[in-house]
Amino acid sequence: MNGYELLSYIKTMDTPVIFITAMGELEQRVHGLRAGADDYITKPFEIVEMLARVEVVLRRYHKTEDVLQVEDVTIDVPSRVVMQNGKQIMLTMKEFELLLLFVRNKNIALYRETIYENVWECNYLGDSRTVDLHVQRLRKKLRWEDKIKSVYKVGYRLEV
């Protein structure tokens, strides 16, 4: 399946699409955009520019909401305030980032490596105790022992 065929399938799910490809001819870029892509980036590219383009597309799709609601928890992202049933829950910076990662990827199994690299923003070195410890603390603070599930030989999943 090529990118254009995949695009026609993905667009039915209201999912933003950015082509990242080595095919940089004008007619290919125009074809991708007319087919429904939200942006078209040709290789080589700078990571900073790609991230800026992703942010623009996410804003357009309202995927970067300022307030997130999951179950009995409300997360005000800009102010970094977490409320549960009207009561503020005090989280460390890493616990907050971990919660955001789970909420933005609810019902998806996340590998420990993925969690570590997203929350701690550095390469995973094989020590899963850091992730496990923070997940355990987050579960306890939110009383979500039944919602943040361990996934055998993978990592964790927020089930809602």
**What mean pLDDT do residues 103-114 have?**
90
**What mean pLDDT do residues 145-154 have?**
94
Break the chain into its structural domains and give their ranges.
3-60, 90-158
H or E element at residue 75 = strand 73-76
H or E element at residue 76 = strand 73-76
pTM over 0.85: no
Q: Which CATH number fits domain 3-60: 3.60.15.10, 3.20.20.70, 3.90.1200.10, 3.40.50.2300?
A: 3.40.50.2300
Q: Which CATH code for domain 90-158?
A: 1.10.10.10
The Cα-based distances of 158 to 16, 41, 49, 108, 109 in angstroms read: 23, 32, 31, 7, 8
Residue 96 has what pLDDT? 96
H or E element at residue 97 = helix 93-104
pLDDT in tens, 4-45: 888 888 877 777 889 998 888 899 989 989 998 999 999 988
